[in-house]
Structure 1
Amino acid sequence: MNLHLEIERIFTDQAFARPLFYSCPGGLRFELSETGGMIEQFLLALRKSTEICADIFSGESTLVTCLRFHSDGQRFAHRSLLQSLRSAGIEIPAQRSIWSEPTDPDDWFCESEPEYWINLAFETPARLLQALLWCALAADFGAIAPNPRCAVYLFNLKAGVMVFPYDDRGMDVVGPNKALLSRLYHRHQTYLLDYDRPAMDADFAGSL
């Protein structure tokens, strides 16, 4: 399976839009960390995101992961990323999809040297879900390791739902599977981000 094409087929061109919740109306936004010290916030975010994702990937033996990171053309710039993934027990399989997207030229460090977003998608055993969430949530914590310092997207392609833990504070869940999103909305009410709750209530409050 070409994971790039399958992601585009299911989620059109919005899978990697930021912010994802506002780019894909009809999704969910969860609040993860709250008050407390760094370790307390991180562990709470990990617990909440694992609980929600356990429902999203229930019964699945594998899930699709997509790592998204910035490249300025330096050959060995992402060696530390791969080392961090291995430290978390995550190996990149030989079967994978890799593609690039140009960044906005206004964001280039040097206007004569193009920069890109690199996307690396692969299937992962579902038992590594918490390790993947750890890598996603550690991105903003320099003192927490392993930390590959990249965006981590998780896909249940069969169910038509994707998960983006954008940092330790929150996680977006979107996709065409409104029945599953509705179940998550009702089951994890206490974790919904209050700021965006009116929009989610409008989409799901009347659903069962």
Structure 2
Amino acid sequence: MDDLDKFMKREFPSTELKSPLFYNSPIAIRFDLGGNFFLEIEKERVEDVIYRSLTLFKALNNNLDDIFVITFVDCWDDEPITPIEEGVTKTLNKTIKSVKDYKINKNQVEYRYKDDDNDDIVTFRYWTKIKVLNLDVEELLRGKIYSTICEDEYSSIGDLFIVNSTNNTIFHLYDERGLDIVSQRKETITNLYKDFEKWILEYDRKRIDEIFTHN
């Protein structure tokens, strides 16, 4: 068992890194980023989505915190993974800075959305552990957002999670519409709930309010 699996088993034993993370976690907030996957988005709107996601990330994580940066890539079992893997490696190398000895780990894992129609899909998980200060967060988030609106330059970014092993939180930007933040303890993200309450997704506001107002 590698370091990431050990951490998840110890701190988030009932949480699987997959969407919808918010609905599968007892302590979580879902934020609205304002994009729409099904509509063409103006550049100014994209920048606002990036601003919101970056602001929330900085409010959640401190520079000296240890984080796992994780991405999942799905492909058909008869497709070569090499071209995709080269893109993932390129993206991570582009966004990780001032670290000489980091390692990009690769594991083949079970397809996380398994049903009878996708037995021939395989999933590869790529991850590395670094300090927050060694990650170009804006570039990574920008890449993820653009990857969901079909910009070829960033098409290699898969399902993205940033797990903070210092404060035991999970940051999941699922696409340009929104992101989920999960915590082991309610107190860790209460300030996010208060400071950014205008960005909370209205559809889930009642459930989120119940999490943070009930003892």
TM range (shorter): 0.7 to 0.9
Whole-Å separation in 2 of the counterparts to 1:135 and 1:190? 25
* SS of equivalent residue, structure 2 residue 74: strand
Whole-Å separation in 2 of the counterparts to 1:8 and 1:66? 16
Structure 1 moving runs of 4+ over 4 Å: 91-94
Return 5+ residue gaps in structure 2 as ranges: none
**1:168 and 2:172 aligned:** no
TM-score (norm 1): 0.83
**1:121 and 2:108 aligned:** no
**1:37 and 2:55 aligned:** no
Pick which of 136-145 and 197-206 moved more.
136-145
Q: 1:89 corresponds to which letter in structure 2?
A: T
Pick which of 146-155 and 19-28 moved more.
146-155
Whole-Å separation in 2 of the counterparts to 1:120 and 1:54? 23
- How far has the Cα of 1:139 moved from its partner? 2.2
Q: 2:126 corresponds to which letter in structure 1?
A: L
Whole-Å separation in 2 of the counterparts to 1:61 and 1:160? 10
Q: 1:148 corresponds to which letter in structure 2?
A: S
Query: What corresponds to 2:19 in structure 1?
Result: 18
- Residue by residue over 1:85-138, the C-alpha shift from the partner in whole angstroms, topping out at 9 and shown as x without a partner, is 44x434796534432222226343xx6xx4322111212342412122122222
Contact map agreement 1:85 1:148 (CA 8 A) in 2:
no
Contact map agreement 1:3 1:97 (CA 8 A) in 2:
no
**1:139 and 2:147 aligned:** yes
Of 70, 74, 89, the match for 1:82: 89
- How far has the Cα of 1:167 moved from its partner? 0.2
Pick which of 88-97 and 177-186 moved more.
88-97
Contact map agreement 1:84 1:147 (CA 8 A) in 2:
no
- Residue by residue over 1:127-175, the C-alpha shift from the partner in whole angstroms, topping out at 9 and shown as x without a partner, is 4121221222222111374442311101111101000000001000012
Query: What corresponds to 1:106 in structure 2?
Result: 116
Q: 1:46 corresponds to which letter in structure 2?
A: I
Contact map agreement 2:29 2:182 (CA 8 A) in 1:
yes
Identity of aligned pairs, percent? 17
Return 5+ residue gaps in structure 1 as ranges: none
Give the root-mean-square deviation of aligned CA atoms.
2.6
TM-score (norm 2): 0.81
Query: What corresponds to 1:57 in structure 2?
Result: 61
Pick which of 97-106 and 195-204 moved more.
97-106
Contact map agreement 1:135 1:148 (CA 8 A) in 2:
no
Q: 1:21 corresponds to which letter in structure 2?
A: F
Q: 1:157 corresponds to which letter in structure 2?
A: S
Pick which of 76-85 and 160-169 moved more.
76-85
Whole-Å separation in 2 of the counterparts to 1:121 and 1:13? 20
Contact map agreement 2:63 2:131 (CA 8 A) in 1:
no
- How far has the Cα of 1:61 moved from its partner? 5.2
Whole-Å separation in 1 of the counterparts to 2:59 and 2:207? 22
Q: 1:81 corresponds to which letter in structure 2?
A: V
* SS of equivalent residue, structure 1 residue 197: helix
Q: 1:107 to 1:134 in 2, by over 3 A?
A: farther
Contact map agreement 1:85 1:146 (CA 8 A) in 2:
no
* SS of equivalent residue, structure 2 residue 193: helix
